[in-house]
Structure 1
Amino acid sequence: MEMAYDKCSAHNQSQDFVAFSGKRKSQRLENQRIKRQKIENADDVPTGTKITDINPDCLEHILMYLNLGDLLNVADSNKYLKSVAEEIYVRKYGRKNAPEYCGKTILEISAISLCRMRNYEFDGYSLKLGDLKTCLQFVRCFGHLLHDIILDNVTSSVSNVYGRTLIYINEYCGDHLWFIRIKGFDLSTAFKKPFLKVTVANLIDCGFGKKSLNWLFPNVTSISYKSHGKFLNIDKHMPMLKCLYIGVSQCGKLSNSGKKAIEKAFRLNPQLKRLEINLGAGLNLQLLSKVSKYIQSLEDLMLKATLKKDFCFANDTIYFKSVESFYLNLKLEKDLKTINGSNDIQNLNQTEDELLLPNIPFAFDRLKHLKIRGNCRYSDQLFSFISKCPTINFLQFWDYIFISKTDVAKIAAMLPAVKKILFYERYSLEEVCHYLTEFKLLNEFGFRLKNEDDLDVLRTRFGHEWQISPGFCVDMKRSVRR
Structure 2
Amino acid sequence: MEKMKFTDMNIDCIESCLEHLKIEDLLNAAASNKRLNHAAKSIYDRKYHCRRIPLHIVNGNPFALSTLRYLRCFGELITRIQLIFYGEINQYSWRYSEPWKERKFIRTQRTIDYINEYCGESLVDIEFIRIQDLPEHFKKPFPRVKRLKIDDCSFSGLTEKNWLNTIFPRMQELHISVTNVHCEEVSQITFELAENHFAFLEHLSIFLSQFETIPWIVDSLRRNFMAALELNPQLKHLCVSTSPGIPFFDANDFQSVNLQNLESLEVTVNDSFYFEFNGESMRFRNLKSLRFIEQTNISYPIPFVADNLETLHLYKFVRMSEYEYDFIEKHPTITFLRLSVIEHVDLERIAKALPLLKAIEFGYSVRLTIDNMIPHWTTFESLKQISFLMEHIEEEDLIPLLIDGWSIDTIVKYSTKYEIKLKR
TM-score range, shorter chain: 0.7 to 0.9
Shift of 1:302: 0.5
Query: Corresponding residue for 1:139?
Result: 71
1:234 aligns with 2:194: yes
SS of residue paired to 1:181: strand
Pick closer, same or farther for the CA change 1:295–1:329 going to 2, 3 Å: same
Q: Which amino acid aligns with 1:245?
A: S
Deviation string, structure 1 residues 311-367 (Cα, Å, up to 9, x no partner): 5553233403222211122355xxxxxxxxxxxxxxxxxxxxx3x444423333332
Q: Which amino acid aligns with 1:234?
A: A
Greater per-residue helix proportion? 1
In structure 2, which of residues 226, 230, 233 is the aligned counterpart of residue 263 of structure 1? 226
What is the rounded CA distance, in whole Å, between the counterparts of 1:58 and 1:442 in structure 2? 54
Query: Corresponding residue for 2:51?
Result: 105
1:394 aligns with 2:336: yes
In structure 1, which of residues 374, 382, 401 is the aligned counterpart of residue 324 of structure 2? 382
Q: Which amino acid aligns with 1:381?
A: Y
Shift of 1:63: 5.1
What is the rounded CA distance, in whole Å, between the counterparts of 1:249 and 1:446 in structure 2? 30
Query: Corresponding residue for 1:125?
Result: none
Query: Corresponding residue for 1:409?
Result: 348
What is the rounded CA distance, in whole Å, between the counterparts of 2:52 and 2:356 in structure 1? 43
Deviation string, structure 1 residues 383-433 (Cα, Å, up to 9, x no partner): 2333443433332112x43334xx233334444443432223352222221
CA RMSD of aligned residues (A): 3.3
Q: Which amino acid aligns with 2:148?
A: A
Query: Corresponding residue for 1:298?
Result: 262
Larger Rg: 1
Pick closer, same or farther for the CA change 1:163–1:386 going to 2, 3 Å: same
SS of residue paired to 1:150: strand
What is the rounded CA distance, in whole Å, between the counterparts of 2:367 and 2:251 in structure 1? 37
Deviation string, structure 1 residues 244-296 (Cα, Å, up to 9, x no partner): 101335426545443333222212211111110013534222563254x3111
Pick closer, same or farther for the CA change 1:142–1:114 going to 2, 3 Å: farther
Query: Corresponding residue for 1:3?
Result: none
Query: Corresponding residue for 2:405?
Result: 465
- Kept in 2, the 8 Å contact 1:270–1:295? The answer is yes
1:84 aligns with 2:39: yes
Pick closer, same or farther for the CA change 1:279–1:290 going to 2, 3 Å: farther
Deviation string, structure 1 residues 439-463 (Cα, Å, up to 9, x no partner): 344333222345422x335346634
Pick closer, same or farther for the CA change 1:264–1:303 going to 2, 3 Å: same
In structure 2, which of residues 375, 380, 386 is the aligned counterpart of residue 434 of structure 1? 375
Shift of 1:56: 3.8
Pick closer, same or farther for the CA change 1:61–1:273 going to 2, 3 Å: closer
Shift of 1:144: 0.8
Deviation string, structure 1 residues 39-88 (Cα, Å, up to 9, x no partner): xxxxxxx9986664355455446656876556545434443332133235
- Kept in 1, the 8 Å contact 2:209–2:242? The answer is no
Query: Corresponding residue for 2:282?
Result: 319
Q: Which amino acid aligns with 2:195?
A: D
What is the rounded CA distance, in whole Å, between the counterparts of 1:86 and 1:443 in structure 2? 46
What is the rounded CA distance, in whole Å, between the counterparts of 2:378 and 2:9 in structure 1? 73
- Kept in 2, the 8 Å contact 1:220–1:241? The answer is yes
- Kept in 2, the 8 Å contact 1:153–1:183? The answer is yes
What is the rounded CA distance, in whole Å, between the counterparts of 2:14 and 2:357 in structure 1? 62
What is the rounded CA distance, in whole Å, between the counterparts of 2:398 and 2:144 in structure 1? 51
What is the rounded CA distance, in whole Å, between the counterparts of 1:188 and 1:304 in structure 2? 30
Pick closer, same or farther for the CA change 1:435–1:445 going to 2, 3 Å: farther
TM-score normalised by L of structure 2: 0.78
1:456 aligns with 2:396: yes
**RCO greater where, 1 or 2, for CA within 8 Å and sep 6 or more?**
2
What is the rounded CA distance, in whole Å, between the counterparts of 2:254 and 2:65 in structure 1? 50
- The alignment of Structure 1 onto Structure 2 pairs a total of residues equal to 382
- Kept in 2, the 8 Å contact 1:270–1:297? The answer is yes
- Kept in 1, the 8 Å contact 2:344–2:368? The answer is no
Shift of 1:376: 2.0
Q: Superposition pairs for residues 292-371 of structure 1, below 5 Å?
A: 293-305=257-269, 307-310=270-273, 312=275, 314-322=277-285, 323-331=287-295, 354=297, 356-371=298-313
- Kept in 2, the 8 Å contact 1:427–1:450? The answer is no
- Kept in 1, the 8 Å contact 2:252–2:278? The answer is no
Deviation string, structure 1 residues 131-190 (Cα, Å, up to 9, x no partner): 521111111111111111011244455641222101110121011011111012223232
Q: Which sits farther off after the overlay, 315-324 or 237-246?
A: 315-324
What is the rounded CA distance, in whole Å, between the counterparts of 2:3 and 2:331 in structure 1? 82
Pick closer, same or farther for the CA change 1:80–1:309 going to 2, 3 Å: same
SS of residue paired to 1:465: coil
Pick closer, same or farther for the CA change 1:108–1:313 going to 2, 3 Å: farther
- What residue ranges of structure 1 are gaps of 5+ in the alignment? 1-45, 96-102, 116-129, 333-353
- Kept in 1, the 8 Å contact 2:250–2:272? The answer is no
What is the rounded CA distance, in whole Å, between the counterparts of 2:40 and 2:311 in structure 1? 49
Q: Which amino acid aligns with 1:85?
A: A
- What residue ranges of structure 2 are gaps of 5+ in the alignment? 88-93, 95-100, 179-185, 413-418
Shift of 1:221: 1.6
- Percent of pairs identical after alignment? 29
Q: Which amino acid aligns with 2:347?
A: V
1:275 aligns with 2:244: no
- Kept in 1, the 8 Å contact 2:255–2:282? The answer is no
Query: Corresponding residue for 1:212?
Result: 163
